[in-house]
Structure 1
């Protein structure tokens, strides 16, 4: 048994909408952080403790290092780890709640949480950090905790595949834009300069993956498809049969919730 990609898209949606919440900036400023990006980097990285920016650059992969260094380690002097975690869960509950009107949250929470012990966390630091966090006592919080751990689990696997393929952070973003898999303004969102972006594009052109107009080529489509296939394979290889069974049993609930989140306009990416 394998988990369909629709399941992974669903947990991605449940997890990442917290970063797009209109209340995110205010929620993290209320505990002492400054600005949207400091809130993002600190709240996502806090599962690892209070890591230095170099660790966050390594584990997040796609962001220009200068963006991370502007937020960290300053964030750890402005707000406590416990306050950031508390604010993050409160924001997550508020943000995703509209997606669960027709979903049995207790069943979904139990199924997702039952799958976590069967994850092989070797080489998956962000997933490991999230799994190690205390599980909230409420069902909605437990769903978001598990969805976040699972999202980062596949994400860690994806980064391993990208780095094995020799694709650095900026080139990964250029390729995602060329393939139509990234939002408008990705270069600016991830903090890359024009020169850095151009250099990343040139590295892809040298492999024949994009053309002179930066459009993806047939070879690039094949390569990008292979990256996703390899990510699926690496992800599935680290999940026990028992864990896969638990997760598969509630996959339909996760997909329903994610569709309702998108329908409610909570996820601007439309995933």
Structure 2
């Protein structure tokens, strides 16, 4: 798979996965199960693939969130909701958000390829991908599509966190760099739970590296560093895909990218957004 094909494939899978975070009725649907507020729904629904993890484990696997915002939701969430019901509702929320944009696309064919990719991933050191892969695929075709795609997306996310850590970038600095290059909104500190002091420390880290100027705007060096991080993430992903998984990714890349563009056209995902998704 060429570098450009790989980049566009990962970008598309990230966009398609992310609909679950922007579905307009997600908060209400999770609250109907017993959860309280958007963030409890987010942290519990995404981490439920791991079981009923404590706050420290959620913070560790998600990387970019302040511990305090996680602790307001976890572990309280596990006393409010049935984990299996939550996982089922999450898949349903995602599929309902995807359906309008997937009309006319061959969902079954893409799902077959995505399942083949997921099966051929080396998930050692990649906890969210491994946990998602252990879940049973739903019977509903669009939910099954999102399930296998989410394994792939979390796989890249796990690789990305490893690259960020190797670069010495903590949660605040990593988020601040996303804001500085225009891939995340200015509201990112509040959306990720960081207070002013913590956020300022992250920006200072970037400034010392020469990656942002005195106004917190990315320098050329900062933009190049961000591109190197993305390239390193893509290389890490490629290193842990077997040949069959890579072949499936090559075969399905154009279809997944076209599907992602249609889903973006349906209006469910806006840019820039807190996930740092780039347009497919």
d(CA) in 2 for partners of 1:90, 1:173: 29
Q: Does the alignment pair 1:29 with 2:31? A: yes
2:276 is aligned to none
**Which residue pairs with 1:179 in the alignment?**
181
1:100-249 matches, cutoff 5 A = 100-249=102-251
- For normalisation by structure 1, the TM-score amounts to 0.97
* 1:65 corresponds to: 67
CA offsets, 1:38-76, max 9 Å, x none? 000000001111110101101111111100000000000
Q: Tell me the TM-score normalised to structure 2 length.
A: 0.94
Cα deviation digits, residues 17-53 of structure 1 (max 9, x gap): 1111111001100111100000000000011111101
2:269 counterpart residue number: 267
1:216-252 Cα shifts (integer Å, max 9, x gaps)? 1122122111111110100110001111111221222
1:204: Cα distance to partner?
A: 1.1
Count residues with an aligned counterpart: 271
Comparing 134-143 with 67-76, which one deviates more in the overlay? Answer: 134-143
Q: Indicate if the aligned counterparts of 2:156 and 2:237 stay in contact, CA closer than 8 A.
A: yes
In structure 1, the residue matched to 2:93 is 91
Q: Could you report, residue by residue, the CA deviation over 1:63-92 in whole angstroms, capped at 9, with x for unpaired residues?
A: 111000000000000001111011111111
Aligned to 2:6: 4
Contact 1:113-1:142 at 8 Å conserved across structures: no
Matched with 2:54 is: 52
Q: What is the alpha-carbon root mean square deviation over aligned residues?
A: 1.1
Q: Give the Cα separation in 2 of the matches to 1:136 and 1:253.
A: 21
> What's 2:22 paired with?
20
| CA drift at 1:269 | 2.6
Where do 5+ consecutive residues of structure 1 fail to align? none
Distance 1:221 1:14 in 2: 25
Measure, in 2, the Cα distance between the counterparts of 1:184 and 1:143: 32
2:257 is the alignment partner of 1:255: yes
Distance 1:187 1:56 in 2: 18
SS in structure 1 of the partner of residue 137 of structure 2: coil
User: What is the alpha-carbon distance in structure 1 between the residues aligned to residue 35 and residue 250 of structure 2?
Assistant: 38
Structure 2 residue runs without a partner (length 5+)? 273-278
CA contact (8 A) 1:38 1:71 kept: yes
